[in-house]
Structure 1
Amino acid sequence: MYFRIDRGVSIGHRLKGTTMSNRRLVCLEFGPPENLTFEDSPVPSPGPGEVLVKITAAGVGFFDGLMVQGLYQIKPPLPYYPGSEFAGTVAEQGDGAHHFKVGTRVMGLSGGSFADYICVSEKDCTEIPPNLSDEVASGFCANYSTGLYGLQTCGQLQPGETALILGASGGIGSSGITIAKALGARVIAAASTQAKLDLALASGADAGVLYSKDDWRSDFRQALGEDTLNVVYDPVGGSISETAFRCLSPGGRFLVIGFASGTIPSIPLNLPLLKQSSIVGVDWGGAAVAQSNLTRGLLKNLAQWIQDKKLKPAPVTVRPLSSAPSALAEQIGGEVIGKLVLKNEA
C-alpha cells in the first residue's frame, strides 16, 4: 500500500485568513477501531506542488484497519490520522501546483483522508472521470492501482491467459477480477462462501470455486478445463496459498498482494523449481516511492479505461464518515463484501 503518513498540519501550513475547522479521525494509541475519536484542527493550506482537497468520500481498506492496530509492516508514529484514499474537490492550489484548478473533482491517495480536508501532492491524484461518482471514485484508487500494477507490470498477464483471483469478493479481489478482464484474461474466482463467490461471478469472473472446501483444488481443475493457469493473484495468504501455487501451470506467476487471513504462508521452495514458476511480491507502495510519477500514471490510465468503458468499477457500500470506527471494525472482522466507503456529511 502506498500512502503518506499524515501526522497533521505542518507548522506554517495553515489556511490563511480562515477560522474553518477540519474534522478528522485520530488514533492516539494502537488498538481496536472502537478507540478512535474525531478531533477538530485548523484547515491546512497546501505546500509547494500540493492542492487542498475538500473531501466528499474516502475508501476503507483492510490496510487501514491494520494501521490503527499497529499491525502493519510499517508502524506510524502517534498521533496517527487514518485513511488512505479519497475523492473530493480542489479548494486551493499551492505554489507551483498547476494540474488541477479550484473546483476540479479529483481522486487520489494520501494518509489522513478520513477528514474534511487534506493537502496532497498533485502527483498522487488525478481528475475523476465525468461518468464516475465521488463515492465510487473514493474506493477506486488503492485497489485498482494495486490490480493494474500487480497484474500488468508484475504479473505480465496477457490476453488469452488465465488468472486465479483469491479473496475474490473483497475490494482487492473484485478489482483484480475487473482489471484481469480488462487485460483480456480468463478469470477464475475463489472465495470462502457461496454468497461471496456469487458476488465475484457478478463482478465478471468466468468461473468460481470455494476454497473453504477440502477438495477445492479438484473443483478448480474442473473449472480450469483444458486451459493453463498463468497467474495467481493472492491478497489472502494462509493455507490456501500453497494449494493455489500447486495449481499453477509451468511458467506461471504467483503474485503476493497481502495476508488478509492474518497468516503469512510458507511455500516450499522446491515448488517454484518443480513448477518452473515464480513468486513475485507486488510492493506497489515501494515502487511508488521509488518512481514519483507511478501513482499518477496508474490513476490516469485507469481513469481513461473508465471513460473508454473498458473498465467498470464495482459498486460500493456507503456509510457516513461519522461511522468510521465501526466501519473499520467491520473491515478487519471480515464482515465487508465488496468495497466500503465513507461519505462526508459536511
Structure 2
Amino acid sequence: MKAIVCSKFGTPDTLRYKEIENPLPNKCEVLITVKACSVNFPDTLIIQGKYQFRPEFPFSPGSDVAGIVEKVGENVKHFNVGDEVVGFIPFGGFAEKAIVKVKDCFPKPKGMSMVNASAFLLAYGTSYHALKDRAKLKEGETVLILGASGGVGLTALELAKLMGAKVIAAASTQDKLDLCKQYGADEVINYTEESLKDKVKELTNGKGVDVIYDPVGGHFSELALRAIAWKGRHLVIGFANGEIPKIPINLTLLKGASIVGVFWGAFVQKESKKSLKNIQQLLTWFVKGDLKPHIDRTYSLENALKALEDMMQRRVKGKIVIDMEL
C-alpha cells in the first residue's frame, strides 16, 4: 500500500510518499481501507518529535480516519467487512490502509461523506469534552475562543452556541473572522489589530468572560486570562502559536479562576464510557444538521506534505482533509 512515511523527526519535506507493507489487525482491531483522513495540528508536532509521545520509526502521521472495514480481528463482533466507519488512531492515517482498535471505531452515519467523517471525531470530540466536561459550560455564559477559525476553534464555536452560550471569536484576519460570523459568533476580535484584553472587557461591560477556549498559547494566553471573569475557566487545548506560555499564577488567585487542561486522547482511553456518550451525542447532532464541519480544502495522499505545510503555516480555516479518491 502507499503511505506517507516519517523515518526521522523533521518538517514535512523530510517525509516520503512510498510503498509499505499492509498492516494486519490483532484480535481486537479492524483493518480499514482509508477513504479520507483529516489533518490536525498534532500531526505537525508528531513528525517533529514535539508531541506528548513519540512513535517508533517508521510511522505515518494522521489520526482521524474514515473508511471501509477490510478485515476484522477474531474478537470483533459488531463490525463486518464492508461496513463504513470512522475511527481515531494515534498515528497511521496518512496511508491507504490503517489499523483501528475496535473501541475507537464507530459506524459512519448514513449521509455523512467520508471527508466530513474524517474531519469529525478529534475536533468535535475535543471541543465537546472541553466545554461540557472540563468547563462545565452553562447556558447564558460567555465563551472567548482563541484561534476561532481553526479546526478545533470552529467546532468550539458551533458547540458553545448549541449549548446556549454567547461567543466572542478571536482570530488574526478579517476573512477568518467573517467565517466565524457565518458560524454564529456574537462578537469578533482581530487580535493582531486590537488589544485582546481591552476588547474583551469592553464587550463584556467589564465583567470578563466565563470560559476561555485556548488552542493558541503564546502571549495570547496571558492576555486572555487577564480578561477572565470571577470563577472563570481557562481551557488549555494546545499551543498552535508554537510557544508554551508562562502564566503569572497570581492571576488565578485574583479572579478565583481555574486553568484547566484538556487532552481528549487521554479522556478517550481513561473514561471510555463517557467518551462514547459524547461521541453519540455529537453524531446525533450531525444527523440533525446542527453541526456542519467546514472543509477548507482537500488534498491527495501524494500531496499530503503540502497539507501539513499549510497547517504549520496557519493557512487553514476549519478543516483540511487527505482524500484518497483524489
Is TM-score (shorter-chain normalized) higher than 0.5? yes
Match of 1:128 in 2: 108
Query: Please, what TM-score do these two structures have when normalized by structure 2?
Result: 0.94
Of the candidates 23, 28, 41, which is equivalent to residue 2 of structure 2? 23
- Is the CA contact 2:119–2:293 (under 8 Å) kept in the aligned structure 1? no
Corresponding letter in the other structure for 2:173: T
CA pair 315-330 structure 1, distance change in 2 beyond 3 A: closer
- Is the CA contact 1:124–1:295 (under 8 Å) kept in the aligned structure 2? no
- Is the CA contact 1:136–1:316 (under 8 Å) kept in the aligned structure 2? no
Partners of 2:207 and 2:68 in 1: how far apart?
Answer: 46
- Deviation track 1:250-290 (CA, whole Å, cap 9, x = no partner) reads 01100000111011111111111110111101122222232
Mapped pair 1:163 → 2:143? yes
CA pair 95-294 structure 1, distance change in 2 beyond 3 A: farther
- Deviation track 1:13-40 (CA, whole Å, cap 9, x = no partner) reads xxxxxxxxx2111101111101111232
Match of 1:298 in 2: 278
Partners of 1:44 and 1:264 in 2: how far apart?
Answer: 36
**Higher deviation after alignment, 60-69 or 87-96:** 87-96
Match of 2:265 in 1: 285
Partners of 2:8 and 2:274 in 1: how far apart?
Answer: 32
- Is the CA contact 1:66–1:332 (under 8 Å) kept in the aligned structure 2? no
Match of 2:45 in 1: 66
- Deviation track 1:43-68 (CA, whole Å, cap 9, x = no partner) reads 23322122111111000011101111
- Is the CA contact 1:23–1:116 (under 8 Å) kept in the aligned structure 2? yes
- Is the CA contact 2:295–2:320 (under 8 Å) kept in the aligned structure 1? no
Match of 1:192 in 2: 172
Q: CA deviation at 1:233?
A: 0.2
Mapped pair 1:46 → 2:22? no
CA pair 25-197 structure 1, distance change in 2 beyond 3 A: same
Match of 1:246 in 2: 226
Q: CA deviation at 1:182?
A: 1.7
CA pair 107-119 structure 1, distance change in 2 beyond 3 A: same
Q: CA deviation at 1:228?
A: 5.4
- Is the CA contact 1:58–1:113 (under 8 Å) kept in the aligned structure 2? yes
Query: Please, what TM-score do these two structures have when normalized by structure 1?
Result: 0.89
- Is the CA contact 1:161–1:228 (under 8 Å) kept in the aligned structure 2? no
- Is the CA contact 1:25–1:39 (under 8 Å) kept in the aligned structure 2? yes
CA pair 269-226 structure 1, distance change in 2 beyond 3 A: closer
Partners of 1:305 and 1:260 in 2: how far apart?
Answer: 28
Match of 1:86 in 2: 65
Of the candidates 318, 321, 324, which is equivalent to residue 298 of structure 2? 318
Partners of 1:68 and 1:293 in 2: how far apart?
Answer: 31
- Is the CA contact 1:56–1:344 (under 8 Å) kept in the aligned structure 2? yes
Q: Secondary structure at the match of 1:334?
A: coil
Q: Tell me how large the CA RMSD over aligned residues is.
A: 1.7
**Higher deviation after alignment, 275-284 or 304-313:** 304-313
Partners of 1:270 and 1:308 in 2: how far apart?
Answer: 44
Partners of 1:88 and 1:120 in 2: how far apart?
Answer: 11
1:110-259 to 2 correspondence within 5 Å? 110=89, 111-225=91-205, 229-259=209-239
Partners of 2:113 and 2:325 in 1: how far apart?
Answer: 16
How many residues are aligned here? 325
CA pair 182-297 structure 1, distance change in 2 beyond 3 A: same
Q: Identity across aligned pairs (percent)? A: 41
Q: CA deviation at 1:224?
A: 2.9
Mapped pair 1:331 → 2:297? no
- Is the CA contact 2:301–2:324 (under 8 Å) kept in the aligned structure 1? yes
